[in-house]
Amino acid sequence: MGTVLVLIGFFAFIAAIVMLIISFIKKNDLKKWLKVMGISFIVLIVGGVLMPSTTENEDNQVVNAEVTATPEVVEPIETEEVTENEITEDEVIVVEEELTMGQKNALKKAGSYLDFMAYSYKGLITQLEFEDFTTEEATYGADNCGADWNEQALKKAGSYLEFTAYSYEGLIEQLEFEDFTTEQATYGADNCGADWNEQAVKKAESYLDFMSYSRSGLIEQLEFEGFTTEQATYGVEQNGY
């Protein structure tokens, strides 16, 4: 708006000056064109006053447009998560290459022993050391053979019961003698499926095969083997006492 008024006022003012000069020469309508020139001058001033206001509004529109512009959405860059426990194939190869020949052979030997017989953790280390592996090599073999020592205790308990009779407590003691922990030995005795009364009968019979006992003496011997009084009495009675 201000710009239009300035242009109108400017051209009117120029025109008024020209006509004023002509009127001055011809000596007519001089006052008329002085009025026109005055009005043009006023219009020119008003337009000049309004121009900054218009420019300011245009600047505000530009600023508002910039503010209201939709910000560019930057999508996050996808990165692959790598956990501390992730091991690459190259790292696995490096680990395998770092194993000594003794460690590799101790591990193989441990596996071959466990294929035919049950061992405790300590018992397996002792056996490998007996094969002249170093303590470090034997320990590596026992640590990495994948054995479940509770299951090994259970297998050992079953193998003992195939050849001789045991009481519950006697079987635990025997497994502990084989270097199973108390927890592992107890697991083996708890899960071997033995009938302890029948074990007392077999044990009483084995004693009577090699030696003569009185009834009370045989009960005491069975109790010494870890059978309860009830189990020992049952075993003696089933053998004719």
Mean pLDDT of the chain: 80
The model carries a pTM of 0.60
Mean pLDDT of all residues in 73-94: 49
More confident call, 1 vs 198 = 198
- Asked if the model's pLDDT at residue 237 lies above 60, the reply is yes
pLDDT 10s digits, 202-225: 999 999 999 999 999 999 999 999
In terms of Cβ atoms closer than 10 Å to its own Cβ (0-12, 13-18, 19+), residue 99 is: middle
Q: Are 111 and 142 in contact (CB under 8 A)?
A: no
Confidence class for position 35, pLDDT limits 50, 70, 90: low
Q: For the domain covering 100-147, report its CATH number.
A: 1.10.10
pLDDT of residue 3: 64
The 3-state DSSP class for residue 74 equals coil
Instruction: Pick the range with the lowest mean pLDDT from 72-81, 96-105, 153-162, 224-233.
Output: 72-81
- Asked if the model's pLDDT at residue 154 lies above 70, the reply is yes
Listed in sequence order, the residues at least 6 apart from 39 whose beta carbon sits closer than 8 Å to its beta carbon are: 12
Q: Where are the domains of the chain?
A: 2-52, 100-147
- Asked if the model's pLDDT at residue 125 lies above 70, the reply is yes
